[in-house]
Every structure is written in C-alpha cells, then in structure tokens.
Structure 1
C-alpha cells in the first residue's frame, strides 16, 4: 500500500540493482532484512467464514448455511461478531481495535479453537490425568496406609480387579478375532489376484523361455 505495509509489516532488504552485472567483494555481507510491524487497518482483515464483502460490508453468503462446513463446526471455532477475521500470515499490531472478540485475532487468521488440537489435547489429558492419579495413589499406598487398611482395601478391590481383567481378556480376544478375519479376507483377495494375473500371462513357448518360469501359481499351498 501507500504506507509501505505488506501483510501488516514494512520489510526492508538490500539487493543488487536490476540490470547490473557487478560482483560482490570477498567478505561482503548484505544487511539483514528488517521487519517493522504496522498498525492494523481494515485491509489487514477479511470476511469471516461464510461471509463475503459487498460494498465494503461483510454479508452472509447466499445459499450457504452456517453448518455447511462440518470441520469448522467440530473445531470449536467461534465466528467473530464483527464478521471479520485477520488475514492469514498478517503480522499487524492492534487487531483488537477492529476485532474485539478473541477468536479471529491470532496471527495467520487462526482462532484459539481452530485446527485438530482439540483431539490431541483430549488424548493428552486422558493419559496424563489417570497417570497422575495412579502415581499419587501408589505413593499414598506405599507410605501412608497401615498394613491392616491395605489388606482391607485389597480384599474389597479384588472383585473389581477380577472383573477388569476379564473385560480386558474379552477385549483382547475380540481384537484378535477381528485381526484374523481381516487377515483371511486380505489373503483370499491376494490369492484371487495371483490367479487372475497368471491367467493373463503369455504362453511360455512363444517367449522361448523355460516353461517352469511361467507356471501359474498353485491353487493350494
């Protein structure tokens, strides 16, 4: 623009003037590129998802329902009340003056809830929290509980542990059964593919090679 800002910053770098064929002196080092952020302006924003700019105003797209993008709905992204979002990779400063709500302020136009981070965060907590509980329980069991209470708790927990063990073995058996079924199905498909390929092989006597090299694969092994 006229202010020299591109994607929210002024970038200054040194390069050889176009058309010149001179060479740099030994040991010459160009100046490091310099980036100076600019104050955010309306040109640093774009219409939010599902909206388009009409005469300078972001209006809802005709025929595009709010739930047209399932991935956006699942990500937890919240549309800005201003119907604006920061342009991707824009690094201008002071976007809160134009977009007060936080979701569309992030550099790169991303909100806090965008992307697939929710799944990994949930998985992380699902592993971390039980791990912490088990560690604390182990420390308390080893150092804080008297032997009589340990025996009582062990007796009370025995049926529960037995049930969990049975459920675990049942789940393992189910996984093995599914694996065997898939392996048999894939193996049968491969055998049919081999037989089909052998059917279309050229006759050995026309190629003048050893007939043993062009036998069809056996139907049974």
Structure 2
C-alpha cells in the first residue's frame, strides 16, 4: 500500500511533495503537489495556466477509477447534466512525475439558474483523457462546488456538499462509491470569503471520494 507522508505524519495512500502556501488574499493554505505512485498532481485546480496557491479555484474532491475502455468522456456521460453557464478552469499534473501537462474543463452541472447548480469539473491527461498509475489503474480527477443563485446574486463554493451530492447521484446509478476514501490534504473551511470579485464559501474536509466505473455492463 502507498503511504502519504506529510510534515505532520503519515496517512495511507499518497506522498505530499509540495510546500503548503501561506494564506493570503485569494489563496488557500492547503495548496500542495501530491504524488500517487509515479504520478504528480496539484490538489486544487487553477483559474488560469499558472500553477500557484495564489490562483486556485476549487479543491480536488473526487477520484474516478475507470476500466480500460473508459476515459474522461465516460465519466461525463455517467454524471450527465449540462454545460450551461460554465467556464474553463485548469489542472496541472504529470503522468510520469517528469513531464507536466495542463488540462482544462468547463464541467457539468445539475440544477437551475435561480437555485443551486451542483457543478463538477473533470481532469485527466489531455492526450488520452485519463491518468494512470500502478496503484489506481486508469483514473480521472474531479473538483466540485455549488453555484448558488447564479443568475441573480451569485455565490460559489460548498465543495464538500457538492461532493456528497455527486456521490449520491452516482450511487443512485448503481456505481460503487466510497466516500472520503483518501486524504488529499486540501482541507479549507474558511466559510465566506470575497475574492476574484466573487462571494465564495470554502468548505472541504481534505478527503476525496472514489467512484468506480468498470468495464462490466
């Protein structure tokens, strides 16, 4: 089994190889580079192609372990929803620990403009639309949040609540779901913050849910 080594101790699963960023305006204190076997990825997505804790959007909260016939597109099909009122965010990772890539995604939403949209963005290697390591096989990463009252008085956030919502959605479609499966050390529970000209609500317990999308019918 892999082990996650942090400055505070050991957690099963991964290795923390980056330095946490001090909290400043528009940043998170839990921005970090994660090692999963040979892979590397940051535990938040970014608002542009600048990999920085001063440029984050939302934490990685979901891992989709997929069969050999599946890609990021398969995960989107399983989730459903629409791309209405979505915009691209960016993800920095490496499938070998050496060569880094950027992926972008606008995501999928469930909900309505006058109420709450549950919004997920999915990230993988852009060339083949999945990541791979010896521990997890093929996988895709996801960030989650809620877009509240987006057409009137928008507020954004509640990543943990959105993660639980998507977990329930996929469990209801008979996919295997293990909530809070592994720590990605991206805890951020600051609550309401105004930044990037937006009202945002940070809520993340630092653990990612895993969903299994197999090749079996």
Normalising by structure 2, we get a TM-score of: 0.16
Larger CA Rg, structure 1 vs 2: 1
Whichever structure has more strand as a proportion of its residues is 2
Normalising by structure 1, we get a TM-score of: 0.16
Whichever structure has more helix as a proportion of its residues is 1
* Bigger relative CO (Cα 8 Å, ≥ 6 apart): 2
